[in-house]
Amino acid sequence: AYQYYKGKSKIGFIFFGGFNSDMEGSKAQYILQWCKKNKYECTLFDYSGHGKSSEKFVNTSLKEWIEDALEILNKVPSNPQILIGSSMAGWIALKISLINSTNLKGVLTIAAAPDFTKRLWKKELNNKQKNEIIKKGYTNIPSDYNPEGYIITKKNIKEGNKNLILTDKNNIFSFPLKLIHGDKDEAVSWKESLKILNKSTNDHSELIILKN
């Protein structure tokens, strides 16, 4: 499922939603309205298992979400694009940029959470949660953003760890990056955005730390 605004520009924006988010979210809709006001091409979409798209969430993973994003990028917009990714979607947008940089003008991330499946397994999940993932295939963790918590699946941990972007020395970002992060973000440290910046070779790349 996706929303598309053609606009009158020679450049476009695609918004990648975060984990468990969809294109009806406040960030996505703000960007769509901004693009309409300024006549920029804009594309929003829902990953498989999210929002209005098909599939059950537990049967999908980062692998399918990357494939969804690539399909949208290749089939919907007609202009060179700037990719905008929030949280986990910062990871997906950067991964997409490494796979297909054709007609890519740059990437903007908001509190990017690259490689979070690796960090989640090593540092954040307790033994009970890990055992549930191994035996049941998933566990539920508390979330400040969803009263029902977040479902973490064995499949998503596995596929996420196959698509890490910070551990591969060959992953270099040659296009402009604009990385926005809050200095008191408790869910994802601003140092994750710094790691991304350190893999950029473009002099126009920028890390913006927001106070408080």
What pLDDT does residue 130 have?
95
Mean pLDDT confidence for 182-186:
96
Report residue 190's pLDDT band, with 50, 70 and 90 as the boundaries.
very high
What pLDDT does residue 55 have?
87
Q: Which residues pair with 44 in a beta bridge?
A: 3, 15
Q: Is the pLDDT higher at 64 or at 169?
A: 64
Cβ count near 112 (within 10 Å): 30
Asked whether the CA dihedral 173, 68, 80, 38 is positive or negative, the reply is: negative
Residue 57 has pLDDT above 80, yes or no: yes
**pTM here?**
0.92
The DSSP element (H or E) to which 68 belongs, if any, is helix 62-75
Residue 153 has pLDDT above 80, yes or no: yes
Tens-digit pLDDT profile for residues 73-82 = 999 999 999 9
Mean pLDDT confidence for 170-191:
95
